[in-house]
Amino acid sequence: MKVWQYETGRRLHSVDLRQFTVDSENTDTEKRFAVSRIISSPDGKHIAVQCERFPSVQLFMVGSGTEGCLSPAETLALPHAPWDMTFDSQNQLWVLLESEDVNMLLYQYSEQRWKLCDSDTHEQRRVTEALQAQWNVFKGSMGLESQFKHLYKVNFDNMASYLQKKQERLEQESRKRAAANGSKPNKKSKTESGAMPQSTS
């Protein structure tokens, strides 16, 4: 994730999000993932970042001053991968999860850290019940293929695969040359195929 000064096009800050993935020791380092959501709190002090297929949300603090650098604040481990998230007008973070049983979590910033709010409040019950009542709308989106799959480069590190593709390419070029030569008259082949002159003694 990169922070830019959009008026000048200058990059101010760069963050490698792989270092913040939950349970990084057991995470496949080759697994591809994409940043699917970046949001800012209304007071401009917090940035939340969501990565596709990862059951976590990374929080940053926005530095003061014109440079606007980001400081890692906290990684929220989630029971399921998030679908979406948003800050409300009170700077609380709502996270929509890909699960019918636990479909929403609410976090509040207090005492220099993000805390999971009690799920028994009237507001949370109302949102949870509304989601459950309309869950058929969300069900079709569960377990879908990555929306960002086509953005990744395809690498061919397997030598056997490379050699096979090279051989196929050479054979295709050879067939093209043979077809091109076959379409032109070959005088030499005609002479050789004609009757041989007989010698006289």
pLDDT: which is higher, 150 or 23: 150
Q: What is the C-alpha to C-alpha distance for residues 49 and 27, in angstroms, rounded to an integer?
A: 18
**Structural domain boundaries, residue 49:** 2-22+29-141
Helix (H, G, I), strand (E, B) or coil at 166: helix
Structural tokens at position 155: 């690498």
Report yes or no on 163 lying in a domain: no
CB atoms within 10 A of CB 76: 21
- Extract the runs of DSSP E, i.e. beta strands, from 24-155: 35-40, 46-51, 56-62, 70-77, 82-87, 93-97, 104-110, 113-116
Confidence (pLDDT) at 91: 94
- If phi > 0 it is left, if psi is from -120 to 50 it is alpha, else beta; for residue 32 that is beta
- H/E element holding 174? helix 159-182
What CA–CA distance (Å, rounded) separates 37 from 184? 61
Give residue 27's pLDDT band: very low, low, confident or very high (50, 70, 90). very low
Q: Is residue 194 part of a domain?
A: no
Mean predicted lDDT score pLDDT of the chain: 79
Q: Residue 63: inside a domain, yes or no? A: yes
pLDDT tens, position by position, 88-129:
999 999 999 888 888 889 999 998 899 999 877 888 888 888
Does residue 147 sit within a domain?
no
Question: Is 44 within a domain?
Answer: yes
24-38, 83-97, 133-147, range with greatest mean pLDDT: 83-97
> So what's the pLDDT on residue 125?
86
- CB-based burial of residue 107 (10 Å sphere; 0-12 exposed, 13-18 middle, 19+ buried)? buried
In a domain, 8, yes or no: yes
What is the model's pLDDT at position 24? 45
The average pLDDT across 13-38 equals 69
pLDDT of residue 6: 84
Element (H, E) at 132: helix 122-133
Q: Which residue has the higher pLDDT, 12 or 38?
A: 38
Work out the average pLDDT over 130-159. Answer: 71
Residue 189 banded pLDDT, cuts 50, 70, 90 = very low
Query: Taking residues 162-168, what's their average pLDDT?
Result: 86
* Contact between residue 70 and residue 60 where contact means Cβ atoms under 8 Å apart: yes
Distance of alpha carbon 131 from its chain centroid, rounded?
26
pLDDT digits (tens, 9 = 90+) for 32-85: 678 889 999 999 999 999 988 889 999 999 887 666 688 889 999 999 889 899
**Number of domains observed in the structure of the chain:** 1
